[in-house]
Structure 1
Amino acid sequence: MEDFASAASREQISIPSVEKVVQQWRKPSQGRGKLNSDAAVKENRCGVGIIIRDGVGDVLLAAGVRMMDVSSPEEAEARAILFGLQTAFDAGLRNLEVESDCLNVIKLLNGHKARTLTQVVVNDTLALSNLFSFCSFSFANRSCNKVAHSVAQLSLSYDEMRVWLEDHPLTCFPLSWRTRF
């Protein structure tokens, strides 16, 4: 039994500490907005949602739309990022740190290549990102992306795109977050 306990404790030490780090939303660098995006897929429908906040945590923009004929959850996540950049560009935002909880799409956006329909969406996203003064793509733990996910879930029921400027759907921010930011 002691050998098992000893081996188990060694294994715990050798496991990367990524899971042990508490993940929470972090503010963007000075002068930039943080765009969080997510997708919710249900049957043949897909809802995508985004939220853009400033360095204080104030909402600059939130938006959601329902999409049809999405081939995979990965493609849906890529479309959410593209939708976020398009919406931000239309609103005049040009300095963004983009976060998604889909690691595979973030890898594609940061240079990995794949022969999938998702790559086509990624290529469009990269072309659009070149029009920004600053645009970076990074992975965010799901716990950092809860608000964008809530907007995406709401978007499943939308008939048209919805955009909130300096506002958001009230149900997307838990009560505890409303007082924190």
Structure 2
Amino acid sequence: MEEAETVDHVLWGCEFAQKVWRASAVHLSAGVASTMSFVEVVDHCFTDLQFPLVEIFFTTAWALWQARNVLFWEDKVVTVSDVVLRGAESTMNFIEAGDIEDVMQPATPEPEPQKWEPPTGDIFKLNIASQCSGTQRREGLGIIIRNQVGLLMATMSCSFEMLEDKIQSRARMVLKALQFVKAIGLSKVIVEGCWRDLFRLLRTTGPCLANSDVLVDDIRCLAKDCFVLSFNSIQANCNRAAKALATEALSSSFEQVWLEDFPAVILPIVQSDYQ
């Protein structure tokens, strides 16, 4: 005899739901039983859990209900791992959309720079950009490091096979950039680029819930070694030199490095940035 379908049953009581909760990052106290109503479980959730596990709890519950609808309306079975992953990814998207405190207490944003600006003191600024080629299925990477007076300390370009996941692709490139910084012995670095979602993720202190979780963790560890001071999202016109270098990278299959020098293709942009 089939069990009656109720909200409590779908989201908590049924065997499938219990498997999902055991596989998820949400670990409730031993006092939470499968015989409880979902409302009672929610009460325990607010008592036992903290950010971002509360968010994971609710997005996983939503993913469970979506799995129920897919089975009911489309006769398709969604796996436990699919539900867990969808809940985690939805939480990541929620976190990337902005901090709750920023929504509750909006601050007047400072005007963004309209062109590249040099760092201050003994700090270096690393600009990073990518350029995709759909025909080649490759992505070019451009990295430019300048000092407080705008002089180029190092540049690098290379290319990668294109990935479908943009955050994972960009995380791979940021990791490459920090490995370059460490290899040439620089520290106290500000990283700038046009990758708002990834940089916001790197600035959070909680666990990474994306497919790129291992890469993000590696970046955070390496950033500490290199004394990376911040990851800043900027407008495209502040990142023109790195973008031009990334575009040029698609014309070569080799990694290229310039120390205290730079390729001719970015000369006009670098000169313009000095003015």
In structure 2, the partner of 1:67 is 160
Q: State the structure with bigger RCO (CA 8 A, min sep 6), 1 or 2.
A: 1
Displacement of 1:21 after TM fit? 4.9
| Conserved? CA contact 1:41–1:73, under 8 Å | no
Task: Give the stretch that moved more between structures: 94-103 or 78-87.
Answer: 78-87
Partner of 2:225: 131
Deviations 1:11-43 (A, max 9, x none): xxxxx9869755211111211100000111222
Q: TM-score, normalised by structure 2?
A: 0.55
What are the within-5 Å matches in structure 2 for residues 22-101 of structure 1? Answer: 22-43=113-134, 44-101=137-194
| Larger strand percent | 1
Give the alignment's TM-score, normalised by structure 1. Answer: 0.80
Cα distance change on mapping 1:45 and 1:131 into 2, 3 Å = same
Query: Which structure 1 residue ranges, 4+ long, deviate > 4 Å from structure 2?
Result: 16-22
Residue equivalent to 1:7: none
Q: SS in structure 1 opposite 2:141?
A: strand
Deviation at 1:60, TM superposition (A): 0.3
Tell me how many residue pairs correspond in the alignment.
166
Which residue of the partner structure matches residue 203 of structure 2?
110
| 1:129-178: CA deviation from partner (whole Å, max 9, x where unpaired) | 12123432111111111111111111112211100101111112326725
Return the alpha-carbon distance in structure 2 between the equivalents of residues 32 and 69 of structure 1.
32
Instruction: State the shift of 1:180 in Å.
Output: 2.8
Q: Whose Rg is larger?
A: 2
Superposed CA deviations along residues 54-109 of structure 1, whole A, max 9, x for unmatched, are: 00000000001111142333333222221111111100001101111110011011
Question: Which protein has the bigger helix share?
Answer: 2
User: Residues 19 and 128 from structure 1, CA distance in 2 versus in 1: closer, same or farther, beyond 3 angstroms?
Assistant: closer
SS in 2 for 1:174: helix
Give the one of 242, 245, 252 matched to 1:148.
242
Cross-structure match for 1:160: 254
CA distance in structure 2 between the partners assigned to 1:155 and 1:88 by the alignment: 19
Match of 1:9 in 2: none
Q: What amino acid is aligned across from residue 60 of structure 1 in structure 2?
A: M
Any conservation in 2 of the 1:36–1:100 contact (CA below 8 Å)?
yes
